[in-house]
């Protein structure tokens, strides 16, 4: 990234100010990586607070990820409780990924990725998810213990508009630059604090997961 030394100093200053402004977020991790994928898809284009509400409703309504997989777009969109068109887009993305996973593994689980090296695991996620970098980075960070900084479009816009990164840099370049400035140990904290700031408020964190299908449960 051009002028990386200048931007590095700005990011360090931003991180310090965020830590002073907000309490340390509780680290979220997932036993089932597909839970992280689902939450990433839901939270990509809505606020963290709205995503927390949505995932609670999912946990109350759907039995597990397999139940979600065989649900209708309209049904999922209604449960999300967001703008109807946005809800349908999220629902389509969820079903596309869940069906791709099921076709590959005959189950709604990608726990096998945890046994793979990080690069092949990321490549596998890309096959299921496509070029949705936020969702992939979120899963890598929270479920696969990789060094990644998930960025929503709102977060990227904030960084660019405040001249904290190169305005011409793309998503991949910005994420890579931030990962070089923030250690793996602090990556989740930085992501959560920056997202919290960009969305203008305190986030009460729930456990963001839809239960994965039990291995003994007969799939539909």
Mean pLDDT of the 177-189 span: 97
Reference 11, options 216, 203, 191, 204; nearest CA is: 191
- The answer, yes or no, to whether residue 200 has pLDDT greater than 70, is yes
% of the chain exceeding 70 in pLDDT: 90
Residue linked to tokens 């970098």: 133
What pLDDT band is residue 88 in, cutting at 50, 70 and 90? very high
For residue range 111-122, what is the model confidence (pLDDT) as tens digits?
A: 999 999 999 999
Q: 4-198 in CATH: which number?
A: 1.10.340.30
- The answer, yes or no, to whether residue 212 has pLDDT greater than 80, is no
- The answer, yes or no, to whether residue 85 has pLDDT greater than 70, is yes
Mean pLDDT of the 152-177 span: 95
**Domain residue spans of the chain:** 4-198
pLDDT given at position 202 = 47
- The answer, yes or no, to whether residue 159 has pLDDT greater than 80, is yes
- The answer, yes or no, to whether residue 215 has pLDDT greater than 50, is no
């Amino acid at each position: 990234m051009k002028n990386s030394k200048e931007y590095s100093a700005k990011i360090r200053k931003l991180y310090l100010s965020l830590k002073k402004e907000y309490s340390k977020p509780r680290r979220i991790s997932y036993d089932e990586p597909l839970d992280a994928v689902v939450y990433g898809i839901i939270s990509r284009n809505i606020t963290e607070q709205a995503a927390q509400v949505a995932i609670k409703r999912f946990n109350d309504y759907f039995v597990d990820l397999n139940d979600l997989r065989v649900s209708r777009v309209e049904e999922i969109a209604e449960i999300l409780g967001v703008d109807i068109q946005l809800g349908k887009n999220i629902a389509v993305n969820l079903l596309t990924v869940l069906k791709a996973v099921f076709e590959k593994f005959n189950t709604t689980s990608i726990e096998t990725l945890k046994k793979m090296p990080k690069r092949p695991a990321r490549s596998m996620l890309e096959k299921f998810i496509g070029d949705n970098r936020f969702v992939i980075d979120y899963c890598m960070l929270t479920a696969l213990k990789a060094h990644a900084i998930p960025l929503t479009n709102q977060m990227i816009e904030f960084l660019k508009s405040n001249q904290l990164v190169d305005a011409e840099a793309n998503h991949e370049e910005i994420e890579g630059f931030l990962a070089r400035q923030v250690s793996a140990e602090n990556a989740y904290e930085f992501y959560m604090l920056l997202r919290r700031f960009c969305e203008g408020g305190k986030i009460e964190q729930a456990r963001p997961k839809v239960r994965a299908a039990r291995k003994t449960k007969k799939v539909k």
